[in-house]
């Protein structure tokens, strides 16, 4: 993976995106137990796993960008 510096406004937008993803993942996590339809449960669980992976990727990208800027 190439390391790229990001502008301050890009870092801000990435943090906003990360907050949104965290909020959505938390909501999906809370709803999982309340769903009785098996197909809908699978969709929600898959979305939650994907969101968690994307959150980790965003966190790592931000961490690398911050370390590169220092």
pLDDT digits (tens, 9 = 90+) for 26-54: 999 998 888 999 999 999 999 999 999 99
Q: With 70 as the cut, is the pLDDT of residue 9 above it?
A: yes
Contact assessment for residue 6 and residue 64, using Cβ atoms and an 8 Å cutoff: no
Q: With 70 as the cut, is the pLDDT of residue 1 above it?
A: no
Reference 32, options 20, 23, 41; nearest CA is 41
Q: Please provide residue 7's backbone torsions phi and psi, each rounded to the nearest 5 degrees.
A: -75, 155
Most confident among 3-7, 12-16, 53-57, 66-70 (mean pLDDT): 53-57
């Amino acid at each position: 993976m190439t390391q790229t510096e990001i502008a301050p406004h890009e870092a801000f937008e990435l943090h906003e995106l990360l907050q949104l993803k965290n909020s959505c993942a938390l909501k999906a996590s809370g709803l999982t137990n309340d769903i009785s339809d098996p197909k809908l449960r699978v969709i929600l669980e898959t979305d939650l796993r994907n969101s968690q992976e994307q959150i980790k990727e965003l966190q790592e990208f931000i961490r690398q960008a911050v370390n590169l800027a220092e």
